[in-house]
Structure 1
Amino acid sequence: MDSNKNETAIFANGCFWCSEAIFQKINGVKEVKPGYIGGKTENPTYEDVCTGLTDHAEAIEIIFDNKIVSYQELLEVFFATHDPTTLNRQGSDVGTQYRSEIFYTTKDQKEQAELFVKTLNEENIFEKRVVTKVTEATTFYFAENYHQNYFNNNPEKSYCAMVISPKVKKFEKFFQEYVTK
């Protein structure tokens, strides 16, 4: 791994609005973009993905400076900010597009992610077994413009106030050392 280079991480962990809002707060994260990955349809739309027929997951692409934040630290946040024990579901969001999946972009990421999942399961960190898949990244399709930076652009929307804001506050409380000042 080149220690002078930005890296890309891709995580699917439910609603991309929530995960984008959390990962944007991390010191060393340069950019977070919501989109779709892991499916069979080229250039899917949000409406396509919502049908569950494309096999895509809602995901975020994270560009990060590995001199400031490590992939391991991003994995910690990933697993702490969603339920990795439910198959194709996050809260009231149900469907394959809401699955928990890590799309690795390097061999090192694959090894780290697989070890992380194995350790979580061996140490029974969660009450149930972690079902998060670790898969090689395929084409990442950026979501439509209105999905980009959704929480910051729409704080008055009820979903942002009732669902995303509490998640962001919880993240900031428990991961103070990671939060951009």
Structure 2
Amino acid sequence: MNSFRFIHLVQFIVLMSLQVLLMRNLVLFETGFCFVYIGFILFLPIEMDKVLLLLLGFICGFTIDLFYDTSGVHAAATVLMAYLRPSMLKLITPRDGYEVSDHASLPSMGWSWFLTYGMVLIFVHHFTLFFLELNGFKLIGFTLAKIVASTLFTGTVLVIFQMLFFERRARGFR
């Protein structure tokens, strides 16, 4: 197993463990929930095979569904996020294009790029998750507040996670 696969396997285990053991009980003002496990899909290399990306999204969401007993809601939201990820990456391609070694991360691509990319995909995930969980559009005001608070909470935690554990690349912070 090469170091690339090993790093992503460790990242998967760490993020899933963090989600199940710590983040599950961490709620911000009874409105904001942190779903740090989606960082696994967000941080994958930019030139990722689409089928493999969807499969990893399903595995990631299904793993959380097993521990949360939510019958596929996390899997559906994570697969949708994984499906939209290549389109989002095309939409925000830098002028010079992507390098082969680029990862979709803050140290590799810079603040404005990552915040645009991350927050849009996190919002899509949370929007899907909370409306599927709600099973309709009842309590739309409270649900939208949960979506916004959870998006900001998750995005902040993922930025902190990257700043602590990701090495700075040669391109540096932009």
**What is the TM-score with the length of structure 2 in the denominator?**
0.29
Q: Which has the higher contact order (CA 8 A, sep 6+)?
A: 1
Which of the pair is proportionally richer in strand?
Answer: 1
More helix, by proportion: 2
